[in-house]
Amino acid sequence: MELTRQEEAALKGEKGETLELAFRILVATGEAFNAERLIPIKWAHLSGVNYNTIGDAGEEFLSKLSQDAKVATRTTLNPMGFDIDNVSNYNLNENFLEKQQSIKDSYERMGVVPSFSCIPYEIFDLPEKGTQVSFAETNAAIYANSIGHLKTNKESAFSALASALTGKSPYSDLRKDDSPNLTIRIKIENPNEMTFGMLGYFAGKIAGSSVSISGVKNLNKRSCKSLCGGMGTSGTCGKFVLDDDEKSEKVDFDEKELQKIHDELNTSDSGDLITLGSPQLGLDEISDLASMLKNKSFKKRCMVFCPRVVQQQARKLTYANELERAGCEILSDCCTCLTPLIDKKDVDSVITNSIKGAYYLKNSNGVGVNLKPLSKIIQDETK
Amino acid sequence: MTIKTIVKGTAKGIVMKTSSPINFLGAVDKKTGFIRDENHDLFQKSIKDVVLVFPHGIGSSVGAYTIFSLKSNNSAPLAMVCKKADLTTVSGCALANIPLIIITKEEFDSLENGKEIEIDSDSQNKL
């Protein structure tokens, strides 16, 4: 990879340890993807915020880094482990609270916008078409490339951090006009959001860096986010196009494939509590949920995850009151994935409509998962 | 040259090979290095101190921190060998200084589980 003289100097450590580290990551990733040079990016979105996911090693790394590091471009942040407004309702130990606070402080010291959201594409205005960004959260990277008309790699926590600190990223395939060489044909009648989540999970397993999907008629917000979340979980694919490319190889996604994924991720016939929001819910979905819950209330605990700014809007528009009346716990700044708020000591299994959530609840939280689409959750679990 | 060095270094150890991609965040315990995804063929095995040979990493971007944590907890593989580069594995190994090389399908197929191999990114042969 060709570096400018300044980039070369930074890589050699002439501009300090922070930039040396950032350029070491950019050069390794650039070399790995045969990028010929680095290009400027306008927005970085970082993952690696929840103490549950990054642990002591991550906390110490960020604490040391933030002593002198500053972001060089607009940078936003993924969810952390809890919502400060209601954290006392959960059994989190002092150590967790302290370490999570330290992580939060480190990012803020570096000049990161404390958005604590995995759906930056719904809560911030998107820059103009074709803008180069670096999104680490996988659902957000896929959404940005596929729906948001932006360009990003499916960044890792460290490659996005390196982009944030330098304002640069390797010019690799997904940043160019990458065209898919595989088309997945959806062969399922009346798909719901879970069908799309499983389609994403299926696509992630078999596709390269991008994929075409044909046979999709109405992709609403809920299904679209479910697709992005599922795809990000199972593979390296960072973009989909709703199209049938005649020249590409074809694979069918049918009831048999759907059932296989369902069997892999659904490990329980029922659940002790419900989680909604992986990815976090936007205002449209909160509004939908409020109308679906009219004159109903949950028979079990139901945790609803949404960004802080969405919760504030939902309060103004009274949706939040309606959800709380129906028994929902609204949580901001955190999300279903690897949440410390669900502990296998207290909970055997969780009901959710999220494919991404199901994978991490099962493997990381170690609880059983009962997968159901939202309409079925409301039908079965409310009175 | 068919072998590509991504993170330089040397390592000598036993090959632990899988044909399934790895989601570091979901499937690997960051303290011990044990694989906890029961659908993975390395389930209940530890990737500590082996030369980990796998197709590529998948899933969460935070998996890069898992790789860094493994190293900090002395539970990391001695080196990693992949068929395809992915950002999570590359950036995690770059930060944690775990040697990482990318090899062709033929070379990947020829590596045997349980055999001792030596990796030296600076030598001519590398493997």
- Which residue of B87, B89, B103 to mutate against A (max A Cβ within 10 Å)? B87
User: d(Cα A328, Cα A17) in Å, to the nearest integer?
Assistant: 47
Residue A69 sits at φ, ψ, to 5 deg, of -80, 145
Q: How far is CA A178 from the centre of its chain?
A: 22
> Averaged over A13-42, what is the pLDDT?
96
Helix (H, G, I), strand (E, B) or coil at A140: helix
CA proximity to A196, closest of A114, A98, A279: A279
> Averaged over A221-243, what is the pLDDT?
95
> Averaged over A117-143, what is the pLDDT?
97
In a domain, B127, yes or no: no
Q: Count of A–B CB contacts within 8 Å?
A: 136
User: d(Cα A124, Cα A121) in Å, to the nearest integer?
Assistant: 6
User: How far, CA to CA in Å, does B115 sit from each of A85, B50, B51?
Assistant: 54, 10, 10
Interface of A with B in 192-251 (CB under 8 A): 204, 232-236
Judge contact between B47 and B35, C-beta under 8 A: yes
Judge contact between A210 and A178, C-beta under 8 A: yes
> Averaged over A344-365, what is the pLDDT?
95
Do A5-173 and A266-381 share a fold? yes
User: d(Cα B93, Cα B56) in Å, to the nearest integer?
Assistant: 13
* Bridge partners (DSSP) listed for residue B11: B119
Going from N- to C-terminal start, the domains of chain A cover 5-173, 182-262, 266-381
* Residue A215 in tokens: 């046979």
- Residue range A142-151, pLDDT digits in tens: 999 999 999 9
| Domain CATH code at residue B46 | 3.50.30.10
Torsion, Cα A30 A32 A33 A37, to 10 degrees, reads: 20
Instruction: Choose between A107 and B125: higher pLDDT.
Output: A107
Residue B7 sits at φ, ψ, to 5 deg, of -125, 120
For residue B114, is it left (φ>0), alpha (ψ between -120 and 50) or beta? left
In a domain, B56, yes or no: yes
pLDDT at B121: 86
Residue B60 among the catalytic residues: yes
Q: A292 vs chain B: nearest CA distance in angstroms? A: 31
A120 CB-near residues (< 8 Å, 6+ apart) = A45, A76, A135, A137, A140
Helix (H, G, I), strand (E, B) or coil at A80: strand
- Residue range A288-337, pLDDT digits in tens: 999 999 999 999 999 999 999 999 999 999 999 999 999 999 999 999 98
In a domain, B125, yes or no: no
| Domain enclosing residue B99, as ranges | 3-120
For chain B, how many structural domains are there in total?
A: 1
On whether any CB of chain A is under 8 Å from the CB of B55, the answer is: no
pLDDT at B127: 78
* Catalytic pick among B46, B60, B121, B123: B60
Point out the residues of chain B with pLDDT beneath 50: none
Q: Report ipTM (2 d.p.).
A: 0.93
- Using CA coordinates, name the residue in chain A closest to B86: A236
| A364 vs B contacts (CB less than 8 Å) | 25-26
Number of helices and strands in chain A (H, E): 15, 14
> Averaged over A185-206, what is the pLDDT?
97
Q: Which fold has domain A5-173?
A: Aconitase; domain 3 (3.30.499)
Number of helices and strands in chain B (H, E): 4, 6
Judge contact between A184 and A212, C-beta under 8 A: yes
* Residue A91 in tokens: 């059994």
Look at the alpha carbons of A363, A364, A367, A368 in this order and tell me if their dihedral is positive or negative: negative
Helix (H, G, I), strand (E, B) or coil at A330: strand
Angle at B21 between CA B33 and CA B102, to 5 degrees: 95
User: How far, CA to CA in Å, does A228 sit from each of A52, A139, A284?
Assistant: 23, 5, 17
In a domain, B115, yes or no: yes
Q: A366 vs chain B: nearest CA distance in angstroms? A: 9
pLDDT at A29 over 90: yes
| B39 vs A contacts (CB less than 8 Å) | 264
Cβ <8 Å between A235 and B59: yes
pLDDT at B123: 80
In a domain, B126, yes or no: no
| A153 vs B contacts (CB less than 8 Å) | 87
Cβ <8 Å between B95 and A160: no
Mean pLDDT of chain A: 96
pLDDT at A6 over 60: yes
Judge contact between A272 and A350, C-beta under 8 A: yes
Judge contact between B88 and B64, C-beta under 8 A: yes
CA proximity to A43, closest of A21, A7, A76, A66: A76
Cβ <8 Å between A25 and B95: yes
* Bridge partners (DSSP) listed for residue A211: A240
pLDDT at A217: 83
Judge contact between A148 and A42, C-beta under 8 A: no
Cβ <8 Å between A360 and B56: no
* Start-to-end Cα distance in chain A: 61
A378 CB-near residues (< 8 Å, 6+ apart) = A292, A293, A296
On whether any CB of chain B is under 8 Å from the CB of A264, the answer is: yes
> Averaged over A81-90, what is the pLDDT?
94
- The CATH code for residues A266-381 is 3.30.499.10
A179 CB-near residues (< 8 Å, 6+ apart) = A210, A245
User: d(Cα A164, Cα A172) in Å, to the nearest integer?
Assistant: 17
User: d(Cα A117, Cα A120) in Å, to the nearest integer?
Assistant: 6
On whether any CB of chain B is under 8 Å from the CB of A156, the answer is: yes
